[in-house]
Amino acid sequence: MTRAIDSLDKLLAPVDPAKPQGAVWLVGAGPGDVELLTVKALRLLQRAEVVVYDRLVSEAVMAEVPESALCIDVGKQPGQHGLKQAQINKLLVDLARSGRNVIRLKGGDPFIFGRGGEEMVSLQAAGIRCEVVPGITAAVGCAAASGIPLTHRDCAQSLRLITGHGRRGEPQLDAAALSAVNQTLVFYMGLSWSASISAQLQAQGRDPETPVAIIEKGTRPDQRVLITTLGGLAETVARDQPVSPSLLVVGEVVRFYRADLQVRSGKPVSRCAVQERSA
């Protein structure tokens, strides 16, 4: 997948001093399924000149980038360090100043736990044109791909997207606010802190029988959904060892999950069969 370039210096050398400054598109790549890209994102990718991308961008999405494009992987593996955010900000500014039009491709939506806001502000401060193209965020994509409605009139009147990873590691949740019933909680980056999340919510009175879904690699061909409860979460994670990227969905809506009635993307077989029969 990595089509890294040999030398950034070469890339950053001004192509032509008379060439105007480039622009940056902050583009959401969605949760993985290439068919969940927006039309705008797909069009931009298919004519990309330079793509600066993250670890969460799927291979299927990267396959849409032309061979001729320069692709720079600035992703961080969990526990390792890729480029620091300040270095990424500088890279985007330098590329645009050297006349490049840059696609900054981020998993999901650039403005949901994606630090897209920081990159936009840095580009604006440098006087560089920047456009944001939204993407389907992981909560929305994973919920759809596993048949879990995030809201439902009967049991979930609100939805919260929460980072399960604090600035210094363990999250300090506003557990009292999160413990109210009739709301769905979706934790991003919460896998390594699932025991703590579970304990904090239960300490504030959230029922240990509250259903929880762990959605691993949502929308991708190897998606896996693990159903458990708040009280059983730590044990499920220890036993089934879900890997990154995974989301935690907490709330009564998880009861709608039906493993036996999943339709795989792009294959609405049963619907066609019904239409044929009734014709």
Ligand X SMILES: C[S@@+](CC[C@H](N)C(=O)[O-])C[C@H]1O[C@@H](n2cnc3c(N)ncnc32)[C@H](O)[C@@H]1O
* Catalytic residue check, 54: yes
- Contact predicate 253/184, CB 8 Å: yes
> How many residues belong to the site for ligand X (CB under 6 A)?
24
Tell me the three state secondary structure of residue 255.
helix
Asked if 134 touches ligand X (CB under 6 A), the answer is: no
List 218, 226, 253, 257, residue binding ligand X (CB under 6 A): 218
List 71, 217, 228, 249, residue binding ligand X (CB under 6 A): 217
Q: Which is nearer to ligand X, 22 or 28 (CB)?
A: 28
Segments in the chain forming alpha helices (H): 8-12, 39-46, 59-62, 85-97, 116-125, 138-145, 175-178, 194-203, 233-240, 269-278
Tell me the three state secondary structure of residue 130.
strand
List 22, 107, 134, 242, residue binding ligand X (CB under 6 A): 107
- CA pair distance 90, 19, nearest whole angstrom: 20
Asked if 119 touches ligand X (CB under 6 A), the answer is: no
Asked if 184 touches ligand X (CB under 6 A), the answer is: no
- Contact predicate 223/217, CB 8 Å: yes
Per-residue tokens: 93: 């500014």
Site string for ligand X, 56-85 (x = CB under 6 A): x-----------------------------
List 178, 215, 226, 254, residue binding ligand X (CB under 6 A): 215
Q: Which is nearer to ligand X, 17 or 266 (CB)?
A: 266
- CA pair distance 222, 257, nearest whole angstrom: 17
List 37, 189, 253, 254, residue binding ligand X (CB under 6 A): 189
Per-residue tokens: 9: 């210096």
Asked if 26 touches ligand X (CB under 6 A), the answer is: no
Residue with tokens 């991708």: 220
Asked if 104 touches ligand X (CB under 6 A), the answer is: no
Give me the catalytic one of 54, 73, 106, 109. Answer: 54
Give me the catalytic one of 6, 33, 73, 76. Answer: 76
Q: Which of 90, 114, 112, 77 is nearest to 24 (CA)?
A: 90
Q: Which stretch binds ligand X (CB under 6 A): 97-105, 204-212, 240-248, 252-260?
A: 240-248
Dihedral sign (CA 220, 223, 225, 226): negative
Q: Which of 75, 102, 81, 78 is nearest to 11 (CA)?
A: 102
Q: Which is nearer to ligand X, 262 or 275 (CB)?
A: 262
Asked if 171 touches ligand X (CB under 6 A), the answer is: no
Residues that bind ligand X (CB under 6 A): 31-32, 56, 106-109, 112-114, 137-138, 142, 188-189, 215, 217-220, 244-247
Q: Kindly list the catalytic residues.
A: 54, 76
